[in-house]
Amino acid sequence: MTISITDKEFALFQRFIYDSAGITLSTSKKALVTSRLSKRLDLRKLRTFAEYFKILSSGSDAQEVQLAIDLLTTNETYFFREPKHFDLLREQAEQARGRAQPFKVWSAACSTGEEPYSIAMVLAATLQNTPFEVLGSDISSRVLERARTGHYPVSRTTHIPKPYLQQFCLKGTHDQEGTVLVDRPLRERVRFTSVNLNTTLPKLGPFDFVFLRNVMIYFNADTKRQVVERVLSVLKPGGFLLIGHSESLNELNVSAVSVAPSVYRKP
């Protein structure tokens, strides 16, 4: 039986995920919170969401706190999402071909890894012998663990250009039929790490590109501004910041200059 959540309890979890990840949950997300956390209540034989929140706020179970953050973080992605961004990446990589320093890209909310592997495919195919580095980060340890495997259902690969699919992916057979594995040489060129965008960043960069797509829709204006300023601090002068097509930095008064819809450049 699903336990219902009261308005007072929901407010506790709104504050929890805001404090933990900077994510603002609207009241329309009550059903989402109920469905995603009810399994934890069942497993721990708790009768109310208030009891579960008490465990999270006690500071005695860091693993449970991470589990709750994982469950409340929405993770939707697929390969080569918003393809014009990858066209721009390809163009800039072509111009960087032959340089000595590595071409560095950060996928700053990478979820299960489709985005950083898409980035790595473009760079491996375009840069030839020029070194490159791809970093994928997320607040959720659960999705990062899956990202590191590079193993996906075939249904998730429909947007991968056919030459890339043939060059960088292995088709599953027998008990792995219906799946695709990103090949090991490419997987080894992508590094995954946990980063909370709502806190001081670890030592990162500087990057030629940062993909910060479809994550700011969960932040309020103050949190957006702080996150963007942190990200810009690790972007090279002249580097590109890519956001989701439904997002904008126009109201944030940050230093990045808009050069195309959802594409900004650091002066």
pLDDT at 1: 59
Q: So which residues are the catalytic ones?
A: 36, 138
Per domain, the residue ranges of the chain are 7-72, 83-265
How many degrees, rounded to 5, is the angle at CA 14 between CA 12 and CA 19?
95
Q: What is the largest CA-CA distance in the chain?
A: 62
Q: In this structure, are residues 120 and 147 in contact, taking their beta carbons and an 8 Å threshold?
A: no
Q: Is 116 exposed, middle or buried (0-12, 13-18, 19+ CB in 10 A)?
A: buried
pLDDT at 75: 64
| Per-residue pLDDT reduced to its tens digit, 114-160 | 999 999 999 999 998 999 999 999 998 888 999 999 999 998 899 99
CATH class for the domain made up of 7-72: mainly alpha
Per-residue pLDDT reduced to its tens digit, 172-202: 889 888 999 999 999 999 999 999 999 999 9
Residue 24 DSSP code? P
State the DSSP code for 253. -
Instruction: Supply the pTM of this predicted model.
Output: 0.86
Specify the pLDDT at position 74: 63
Residue with tokens 């990446």: 89
Q: What is the pLDDT of the chain when averaged over all its residues? A: 92
pLDDT at 117: 98
Residues of the chain below pLDDT 70: 1, 74-76
CATH of 83-265, one of 3.30.460.10, 3.40.50.720, 3.40.50.150, 3.55.30.10: 3.40.50.150
